[in-house]
């Protein structure tokens, strides 16, 4: 098993990419701390892991609050004795996050607080725990929009994900000789509850689909597989990278007809 004897903490583990990653990491032998804003969704993921014979525990935390971020890391160490992998994946996407000219300060603050400050706090408390463990792997969820502009804007979301890329690189470099690796995962559009409303509108769906060379959106499990590689020792020489899993979007000028 690819994560045997590892303890992994995954935020946003109650839905979408986070949930798929919790299930896959547990299947690969990890003991998983499933963190989400809502305890019931984290517990539902834990139930699925237990039914499949895996080991996991649920924890409720708001990743944008320092005391919650500290508590989730402490919970992982107290529950399983150590921490080896941290997947800072929780994130939000708000329908009123739009152009730079009409996005409110409140929406900006809310999105940046969860998507960027949440990752900062996750790393702030995880790094000392990983150092105590002798090293480990940090995976921070960014997005392909961190490297590409869109005429269908979401300015706070895009800025938050660009911040995740820059922050993750710096963490990777600072702790490279302490046996901690840190990488960003940059998903293309994935069919999860985050995008469900947007993608249910055929015009908005097709406006995006036409730019994807593969001609389809991703599945959460495809992101979980990428995260598994970054979490495992198979990626032992990979750090500071922005791992694009985008169906070819960022490579494309003209997509196939």
Catalytic positions are 157
Q: In the complex with ligand NAD, which residue's Cβ is closer, 131 or 195?
A: 195
Measured from the CB of residue 193, what is the shortest distance to ligand NAD in angstroms? Answer: 4
Q: What angle do CA 54, 243, 21 make, to 5 degrees?
A: 15
Cα dihedral across residues 154, 116, 110, 11: positive or negative? positive
How many angstroms separate the CA atoms of 92 and 111, rounded? 6
- Work out how close the CB of 232 gets to ligand NAD at its nearest, in angstroms, rounded to a whole number: 20
Residue (77 or 191) nearer to ligand NAD, CB: 191
Spacing of C-alpha 88 from chain mean position: 5
Contact 89, 12 (CB under 8 A): yes
In the complex, least distance from residue 122 CB atom to ligand NAD, rounded to whole angstroms: 10
Question: What b/e sequence results for 102-112 when a residue is b if at least 16 CB atoms lie within 10 Å of its CB, and e otherwise?
Answer: ebeeebbebbb
CB of 133 to ligand NAD, least distance (A): 23
Cα-based distances in Å from 134 to 69, 84, 176, 232, 238: 21, 9, 12, 15, 17
Asked if 87 and 227 count as a contact pair (C-beta separation under 8 A), the reply is yes
Please, which residue, 17 or 159, has the CB nearer to ligand NAD?
A: 17
- 32/92 with CB nearer ligand NAD: 92
Which segments within 200-255 are labelled E, that is strand?
A: 242-245
Residue 30 or 111: the one with the smaller Cβ distance to ligand NAD is 111
What is the phi/psi pair of residue 101, to 5°?
-80, -15
Q: Where are the beta strands (DSSP E) in 14-62?
A: 31-36, 55-60
94 Cβ contact partners less than 8 Å away, ≥ 6 residues apart: 107, 110, 111, 156, 157
- Please state the closest distance from residue 257 (CB atom) to ligand NAD, in A: 24
Q: Is the dihedral of CA 141, 65, 120, 122 positive or negative?
A: negative
Question: Could you tell me the smallest distance in angstroms from the CB atom of residue 251 to ligand NAD?
Answer: 17
Residues that bind ligand NAD (CB under 6 A): 11-12, 14-18, 36-38, 41, 61-64, 89-92, 114, 118, 141, 143, 187, 189-190, 192-195
């Amino acid at each position: 098993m690819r994560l045997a004897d590892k303890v992994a903490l995954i935020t946003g583990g109650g839905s979408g990419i986070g949930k798929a990653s919790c299930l896959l990491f547990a299947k690969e032998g990890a003991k998983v701390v499933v963190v989400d804003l809502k305890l019931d969704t984290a517990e539902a993921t834990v139930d699925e892991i237990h039914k499949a014979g895996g080991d996991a525990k649920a924890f409720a935390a708001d990743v944008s609050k320092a005391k919650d971020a500290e508590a989730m890391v402490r919970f992982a160490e107290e529950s399983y004795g150590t921490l080896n992998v941290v997947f800072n994946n929780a994130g939000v996407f708000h329908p009123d996050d739009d152009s730079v000219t009409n996005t409110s300060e409140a929406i900006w603050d809310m999105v940046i607080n969860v998507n960027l400050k949440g990752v900062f706090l996750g790393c702030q408390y995880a790094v000392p725990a990983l150092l105590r463990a002798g090293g480990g792997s940090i995976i921070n969820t960014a997005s392909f929009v961190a490297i590409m502009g869109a005429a269908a804007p979401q300015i706070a979301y895009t800025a938050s994900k660009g911040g995740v890329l820059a922050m993750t690189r710096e963490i990777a470099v600072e702790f490279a000789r302490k046996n901690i690796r840190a990488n960003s995962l940059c998903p293309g559009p994935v069919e999860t509850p985050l995008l469900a409303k947007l993608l249910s509108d055929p015009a908005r769906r097709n406006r995006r689909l036409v730019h994807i060379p593969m001609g389809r959106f991703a599945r959460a499990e495809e992101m979980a597989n990428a995260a598994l590689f970054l979490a495992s020792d198979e990626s032992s020489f990979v750090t500071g990278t922005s791992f694009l899993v985008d169906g070819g979007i960022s490579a494309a000028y003209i997509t196939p007809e």
